[in-house]
Structure 1
Amino acid sequence: MGNVGLLYVGAVLFLNGMMLLGRVDGRAAAPLNVFVGVLQVVTPTYLIFTAGGDPDTILGASGLYLFGFTYLYVAFNQLLGLDGSGLGWFSLFVAACALVYSGLNFVRFDDPAFGVVWLYWAFLWGLFFVLLGLRREGLTRYTGAVAAVQGIVTGAVPAFLLLTGNWQPNVTALAIVLAVFGAVVFGALYPRLTGSPPGHDAPPRARAAGGAPPA
């Protein structure tokens, strides 16, 4: 079930990235955030109740709530026009948790590739903290681009590999490729997309309603 949810995490990350890039209106993005947010709350709840007390299953499912609550928070911000600062500071908490889950994947679950994926998510949630919590609106387009790329790299692609039985959790080479890809792509995007273009402001819907984060 978690692998299915990961596919739709990729979809909503991509859509929210397009929203922050000004390609999708915030209210138009809200329904998918609700759908995926509910999915990412129901799924871990089911997994925990059927885990039979297995600590690793419960631990793995617990991280899914971070995504579910984030997307529901995004949807409320968009639909009700709420200030984005609450979501921003929540994102700081989530970013810290993502670092812990990353370490657990490296050490406890022997899955270095997903350890890097969690680092991706920690970076994205950290961007949302800076953008929304600290109100650095010059990062709006950059955060949108990072979210859109992560929707494919950390959502859709791993989900299809997991669903088809082709994910190799203990392959260090995959973790290295993911780490290098992220450093190169996100580093290259930063000087191109930070700040507002001449004569333009940050996307108004993202600015007013608080944008939309990860995973």
Structure 2
Amino acid sequence: MGAVGLLYVGAVLFINGLMLLGKVEPRATAILNLFVGALQVITPTVLIIMSRGDTDVILGASGIFLFGFTYLYVGIGLLGGFDTTGIGYFSLFVAIMALGYSFANFRILNDRPFGVIWLYWSFLWLLFFLLLGLKHDHLTTYTGWVTAIQGWVTAAIPSFLILTRYWQRWDQNVLAIILVVFGVVVFGALWPLTRKRGALSSRAGPAGGETIPAH
């Protein structure tokens, strides 16, 4: 994924996580979703056009569309007040495809850290499916925290490190291990910490009673 686009994926995930936590009004996040969604459709299109048929470049760029379409879908849904079932089931599609992109990063692109990051994203989009597609509202708080944290860990921080060339100085196996340990420990610990709050919020509905797209 283009490092610049990845930076703004971090921004939109962070803001959408805060939205799920009730810190940001849902419609106020729609514009950022539309901006980032448009960026994440234009960027891979340009990369593919300029790839000169390089299959690795095309493979890497193709996954960006999953993000672009998600954010456009969310932005339009927020502005229109649409039911979340459609974006929820699209999230299931993304969660499954993210497993494929994780495999491709491990075995084809030889990028172990992003192989792990794609697993992060698969888990996150699975949560979106459960929350928005199947309406498991008790997951709202947990999903909000996971979304906000992943905005930094899987996007904003890696993007900035790539742009400043610090990412490349790290041993890639070490980075992958750090990401695995962080994900298991932090997201595992968040579950019991947010479970009680999630149960309470499910009685009122997410974000104070309004069902909203979240990515």
Decide: shared fold, TM above 0.5. Answer: yes
Relative distance call for 1:52 and 1:84 in structure 2 (3 A) is same
- Cα RMSD (Å): 1.7
The one of 191, 195, 205 equivalent to 1:202 is 205
Which residue matches 1:154? 154
CA distance in 1, matches of 2:77, 2:35: 15
Aligned pairs for 1:55-94 (under 5 A) are: 55-94=55-94
Gaps of 5+ in 2: none
CA distance in 1, matches of 2:204, 2:98: 31
Report if the CA contact (8 A) 2:140-2:201 is conserved: no
Question: Structure 2: which amino acid aligns with 1:83?
Answer: D
1:40-86 superposed Cα distances (whole Å, 9 cap, x missing partner): 00000001111111111111000000000000111111100000000
Aligned pairs, how many?
A: 212
Q: TM-score, normalised by structure 2?
A: 0.94
Which piece of structure 1 moves more, 143-152 or 199-208?
199-208
Gaps of 5+ in 1: none
Relative distance call for 1:47 and 1:199 in structure 2 (3 A) is closer
Report if the CA contact (8 A) 1:112-1:170 is conserved: no
Which residue matches 1:173? 174
Deviation for aligned residue 1:193: 1.5
Which residue matches 2:194? 193
Asked which structure has the greater RCO (Cα within 8 Å, sep 6+), the reply is 1
Which residue matches 1:120? 120
CA distance in 2, matches of 1:204, 1:182: 25
Which aligned runs of 4 or more in structure 1 are off by greater than 6 angstroms?
none
Report if the CA contact (8 A) 1:12-1:151 is conserved: yes
Give secondary structure in 2 for the equivalent of 1:34: helix
CA distance in 2, matches of 1:89, 1:199: 20
Structure (1 or 2) with the greater helix fraction: 2
CA distance in 2, matches of 1:65, 1:98: 12
CA distance in 2, matches of 1:55, 1:77: 34
Percent of paired sites with the same residue: 59
Question: Structure 2: which amino acid aligns with 1:116?
Answer: V
Aligned pairs for 1:33-48 (under 5 A) are: 33-48=33-48
Deviation for aligned residue 1:197: 2.8
